[in-house]
């Protein structure tokens, strides 16, 4: 499972002209599910998202996690994180999980974040979405449950 985590001052996702998720300060998280991923992968990603110390403390040092900073999470499923463009110019989606499997694990990650006390807004699985991201820093962290990078 892969996630792109961005520290934001605000972020929103819109489907068919309607905002389906919106946050102020917090984390915008794009989540891609790989074939063979399990709940263990989801647990790893959720734990890392909740624990990442990428918010400034009173000394301006990145020492606070999302809870400490009082922020929220906007989660969006994005199978293209599993795209492989090493051969040619058209990415292969071979490593991306089937939609049913991907949605189940995407929803699992969201439920784990909520169980951890975080407010989580979300996109619409398999929808054409417009995502507005105001990256703060910019701070962008790449996570992979299999530690492929």
Residue 59 in this model has a pLDDT that exceeds 80: yes
Q: What is the pTM of this model?
A: 0.95
What dihedral angle (degrees, nearest 10) is formed by the CA atoms of 112, 134, 3, 102? 70
Instruction: Output the average pLDDT for the chain.
Output: 97
**72-77/120-122 β-pairing:** parallel
User: In the predicted model, what is the mean pLDDT of residues 5-23?
Assistant: 98
What integer pLDDT is reported at residue 148 of this predicted model? 82
What integer pLDDT is reported at residue 149 of this predicted model? 74
Decide: 146 and 4 in contact? Cβ < 8 Å.
Answer: no
Decide: 21 and 123 in contact? Cβ < 8 Å.
Answer: yes
Pick from 6, 4, 10: which is nearest to 22 by CA?
Answer: 10
* Percent above pLDDT 90 for the chain: 98
d(CA 125, CA 105): 11
Half-sphere exposure of 66 (CA within 13 A, CB side): 30
**2-15/130-144 β-pairing:** antiparallel
Residue-wise burial string across 65-91, b where 16 or more C-beta atoms lie within 10 A, e elsewhere: bbeebebbbbbbbbbebbeeeeeeeee
- Point out the residues that are catalytic: 78-80
Residues in the chain: 149
Q: What is the pLDDT of residues 68-119, one digit of tens each?
A: 999 999 999 999 999 999 999 999 999 999 999 999 999 999 999 999 999 9
């Amino acid at each position: 499972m892969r996630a792109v985590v961005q520290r934001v001052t605000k972020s929103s996702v819109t489907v068919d002209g309607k905002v389906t998720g919106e946050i102020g300060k917090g984390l915008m998280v794009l989540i891609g599910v790989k074939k063979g991923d399990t709940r263990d992968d989801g647990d790893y990603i959720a734990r890392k998202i909740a624990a990442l110390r990428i918010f400034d403390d009173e000394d301006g040092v990145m020492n606070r996690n999302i809870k400490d900073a009082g922020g929220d999470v906007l989660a969006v499923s994005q199978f293209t994180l599993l795209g492989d463009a090493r051969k040619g110019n058209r990415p292969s989606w071979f490593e991306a999980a089937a939609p049913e499997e991907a949605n189940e694990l995407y929803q699992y990650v969201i439920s784990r974040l909520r169980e951890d006390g975080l407010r989580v807004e979300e996109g619409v699985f398999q929808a054409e979405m417009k995502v507005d991201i105001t990256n703060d820093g910019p701070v962008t962290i790449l996570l992979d449950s299999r530690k492929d990078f």
